Chain A
C-alpha cells in the first residue's frame, strides 16, 4: 500500500503519447492556418503551407516589359528587365514557348522568330533583342526558378484596415457584452432557485430546461423575428440581446444549477440557521462560490456570440451601421468565396479578442475558491 504513490503505471507512456497526439491534432491545423495567413492567394493555390519555409522550384510565365519601354541600341531594339520584378530567385532554365518552357540554360541566347533573340541570366535579368521595333503585346518568357520563401503582411492589412471594420468591432461589442451579461444574471437566479429552493414541480422544470437544450435555434428564427416585428422591437440591438439570451439560457441554467447543487449543504444550512434569507445566501455565499462556473459559462457565451453570424444577420439586419465583425469579414470573402488567404487571416484576427477574454478569465477558473471552505 505504501509504495503506491511512488509507482509509475506502465500506462503513463500511453497517456503521454495520447496527449501529444491530441495536442498535435489541434495545433497542426492552426499552424497551417497561421502560415497560410502570411501567404498570398497564388502561393496558397500553388503549394501546401508546409512547403512555405523552403525554397521552391517554380515555373513562371513572365510577360516582358511593356513595349513602350523598349530602347534602341545600335541597330537593335531591346526590351530588358528582371523576371523576378524586385523579388529574389535563381533561374535554372528558361524557354520562349509554352511548348518547351525549359529548353535553354541561363546565360545562353535563345533564337526567336523574325530574328529576335532572348537571354535570361541566373539572377533573372533578361534581354530581348529584335531587328525592328516591338509592337503590340510584349513576348512571354518561361522561367524555371528556385525561389526563396516569401511571406507577406498584405492579408493582415487588408483585413485590419477594411472599410467599416472599426464600426463593426463596436457593433460586435455592443451585441456581445449585454448578450453575455444578461443570461448570466437571469441564469444565476434561476439556478439557485432550482438547486436550493423547495417548490412543487421543480424536477419537471429542470427536465423541461434540459429538454430545451436540444431544440435547434434555427427552428425559432422566423417565429421569433415575427414576434419582434409585431411588438415593435424590429431589427435592433434589444432584439438580438433577447435572442442571444434566450438561446443561451437553457445551457446556462443547466450548467450553473449542476454546479450550485454540488456546493456543500453544510454552508447553506448554517447560514439558514444564522437567519440568512434566500437572497442573502445567494448573494453572499452561492455567488462567490460559483465564480468558476459563472466564468466558464461567460467564456462559452462570449465566444458563441462573438463568432455568431446567423443570429446577427437575422435579428440585426445587414446595413453598414448594423453589421457585426463576422459580417464584414464575410463581405471581404466576395460573392463566390474561395479566398483562402482572407479566410485564414480573418480567423486569426477574430481569435484575438476571445483569447484575451479567455486568458483574463482563466485565473478565476483555476483559483479553486472552494478549497478550505469546509472542515
Chain B
C-alpha cells in the first residue's frame, strides 16, 4: 500500500514537473523586433533553486499569457515561479496577508487594496530608484508612479507597487461596415460624437448599447462613463480632487459630469432597448447588439477587454473596431485617457521577488505579452512593432499619446463608495433620479466613512 502511494506520488510529481517546464513562446534571439539584449542581461542574475510564489487575478487564457512571460524569467535566472490565479483575489490576499502566509509577489487589480495593505505594513517598499525609473520610462510617468505610491505603516510615503499591464478605458467600439453602410464618419471631437448620435436617431437607428448589469457589481460600467466625461469637462486637478473627495460629489462640476452621462444614457431614443434597459442589461451581453442583424446599436463605450465578449469568430479591425472617446474641441483639456492597470507588489523578503520586479523593468517582459493578446503598456522603451495585432498597437498608441492618464477613479475611492454607493447611485440615476440628488447621496455615504 505504502509503495503504491509512493509510486503514485512519484507519477504525480513527474506530471507536475512536465507541466512546469514550459517552452518559451518566442525563441530568444530569433525575432529581431524583440529586445533580446535585455533578456541576455537578465542571465547575470542567478536564482537557481529559488522558488517564488505569485498570486494574481488572472485565470484561464490570461493565466497562460502571464505564465508565458514568467517563463522567460525562469529560463534566464533559473528560479521556479508558481503563479496562481484567483477570481476572489481581493478576499484571498487579505486572508493570506493577515494569516501570515502571503505570496512573495501579489498582482493587485486596483491600487486601493494595495494602499490598504501597504498601510498595514504587509508590502515591501520598492525603492526610490524604481519610482524614478517609472517617472522616466512610462508615458505620463508621474501619474503611474503616483498610483503605486502610498503611505506605509510608519506613515512615510514610498513606492509599494509597480504598474505593469495597462487597460485603456476611453474607447468606443463600433462595426466599421455598419458605419460605411450608413455613411457615418468616426467622430474626432465630443461635439461630433454628440452630433453623430443625433444623426443616427434621425436616420431611424439606435446609436448606443449600454449595459450596466454585472451581478453584485451592477453599475460599474456607468462609473467609467462618468469618469471619462469628468476628464473631458473638468481639469485633471479637479479629477484628482474628486477622487480624494476634496471636490465633493455633489459639487456642480461632478453633477455636470453625471448629467453629461445622462445625455447619452437617459434618452430612450439613444439607447438600445430604451433607457429602462440600461440597468438591467448585462455588460457582457450589451456589446452583442453591435453585431445583430439589423444592428441594434452603432456604438458601445467599454474598456479594452470587451472583445472577449464579442460573438465567436469576430475579427477585431475587420468585423469590429474602436475609436478614442474624443474630447471636446471647445475645451482646452488635451487628450485625456482613462485607464486601469495591474500593480505588482512584493510581500516577502525573498530576494527573488525583488529580482522579479527588476525583470518587469526590462523591455522583453513587456514585449513577450505585447506580441500575444490583451496587453498594452505605457513603457516607452519597447518596440511598438511587436504588438500582436493592429488593435493592440492602436491602443498602445492612444496610451503613449495621452496628455493625461488617469486611473479608474472608482477603484481609487474607498470601497464603500467606489465599489458600493457609486455603483448603486448610478443605477438610481439611470432609473430617473436627479443627478444632484444622486451626488448628494453618494457624498453623504463618503462623509460617514471619514
Measured CB to CB, the residues of A under 8 A from B are 40-42, 45, 59-61, 63, 97-99, 101, 137, 140, 142, 163-164, 167, 170, 221-222, 225-226, 228-230, 234-235, 313-314, 317-321, 323, 330-338
**Set A59, A234, A319: member contacting B294, Cβ < 8 A:** A59
B323 at the interface (CB under 8 A from A): no
Residue numbers in A under 8 Å from B98 (CB-CB) = 222, 226
Q: Are A225 and B177 within 8 A (Cβ)?
A: no
Near A by CB (< 8 A), chain B positions 288-320 give 288, 291-295, 305, 308-309, 311-312, 318-319
Query: How long is the Cα–Cα vector from A167 to B15 in the complex, in angstroms?
Result: 9
Tell me, rounded to whole Å, the shortest Cβ–Cβ distance linking A264 to chain B.
41
**CA–CA, A143 to B9, complex, Å?**
57
Which of A42, A45, A101, A226 touches B100 (beta carbons < 8 Å)? A226
CB distance from A243 to the nearest CB of B (A): 12
Complex Cα–Cα for A230 and B101 (A) = 10
Q: Are B294 and A99 in contact (CB-based, < 8 A)? A: yes
Say whether B95 faces chain A, with CB atoms less than 8 Å apart: yes
User: Is B182 in contact with chain A by the CB < 8 A criterion?
Assistant: yes
Separation in Å of the A106 CB from the closest CB of chain B? 16
Contacting pair B55 A331 (CB below 8 A): no
Question: In the complex, A315 Cα to B12 Cα: how many Å?
Answer: 21
Q: Is the CB of B60 within 8 A of A334?
A: yes
Given the contacts A225-B99, A333-B87, A320 and B60 also touching, CB distance less than 8 Å = no
For A167, list chain B residues within 8 Å (CB).
12, 15-16
Q: Would you list which residues of chain B between 21 and 54 have a CB under 8 Å from chain A?
A: 53
Complex Cα distance, B349 from A97, in Å, reads 62
| Contact pick for A334, options B61, B86, B96, CB 8 Å | B61
Give me the 6 closest cross-chain CB pairs, A-B, nearest first: A318-B84, A225-B99, A334-B60, A59-B293, A338-B284, A226-B99
With A332-B60, A333-B59, A335-B57 in contact, do A320 and B84 touch (Cβ < 8 Å)?
A: yes
Least Cβ–Cβ distance between B350 and chain A, in angstroms? 16
**Contact A335 B62, CB 8 Å, known A98-B177, A222-B95, A320-B84:** yes
Q: Which residues of A contact B15 (CB under 8 A)?
A: 167
Select from chain A the residue with minimum beta-carbon distance to B100: A229
Bound-complex Cα distance A170 to B319 (A): 44
CB neighbours (8 Å) of A42 from chain B are 311-312
**Extra inter-chain contacts (19) besides given A229-B99, A338-B284, CB under 8 Å:** A45-B311, A59-B294, A61-B291, A97-B181, A98-B175, A167-B12, A222-B98, A222-B99, A225-B95, A226-B98, A226-B100, A229-B100, A313-B92, A319-B82, A320-B84, A333-B87, A334-B61, A335-B59, A336-B309
Which A residue sits closest to B12, measured CB to CB? A167
A324 to B175, alpha carbons, bound, how many Å?
42
Please tell me if the beta carbons of A336 and B84 are within 8 angstroms of each other in the complex. no
In the complex, what residue of chain B is closest to A61 when comparing beta carbons? B293
| A-chain residues with CB within 8 Å of residue B319 when the two chains form the complex | 63
Is B449 close to A, CB under 8 A?
no
Shortest B207–chain A CB gap in Å is: 14
Q: Contact check: which of B59, B101, B215 meets A330 at CB < 8 Å?
A: B59
A170, A222, A331, A336: the one contacting B63 at CB < 8 Å is A331
The answer on a CB contact under 8 Å between A137 and B87 is no
In the complex, are the beta carbons of A331 and B100 less than 8 A apart?
A: no
In the complex, what residue of chain A is closest to B82 when comparing beta carbons? A319
Contacting residues, chain A, for B100 (C-beta < 8 A)? 226, 229-230
CA distance A234 to B96 in the complex (A): 11
User: What distance in Å separates the Cβ of A4 from its nearest Cβ neighbour in chain B?
Assistant: 54
Smallest CB gap from A144: residue in B: B293
How far does the alpha carbon of A61 sit from the alpha carbon of B295 in the complex, in Å?
10
Interface members, chain B 169-188 (any A CB < 8 Å)? 175, 177-178, 181-182
How far, in Å, is A57 (CB) from chain B's closest CB?
12
A340 and B420 alpha carbons, distance in the complex (Å): 26
Q: Closest residue of chain A to B60, judged by CB?
A: A334
Residues A314 and B182 in contact, CB atoms below 8 Å apart: no
Residues of A within 8 A of B236 (CB): none
Given the interface pairs A59-B294, A97-B181, A334-B61, the reply to whether A320 lies near B101 with Cβ below 8 Å is: no
Q: Is B293 in contact with A142, judged by CB distance below 8 angstroms?
A: yes
Can you pick out 30 interface pairs between chain A and chain B where the beta carbons lie within 8 Å of each other?
A40-B312, A41-B312, A61-B291, A98-B175, A98-B178, A98-B293, A98-B294, A167-B12, A167-B15, A221-B95, A225-B96, A225-B101, A226-B98, A229-B100, A318-B85, A319-B53, A321-B12, A331-B59, A331-B60, A331-B63, A332-B60, A333-B59, A333-B87, A335-B57, A335-B59, A335-B60, A335-B85, A336-B284, A337-B87, A338-B282
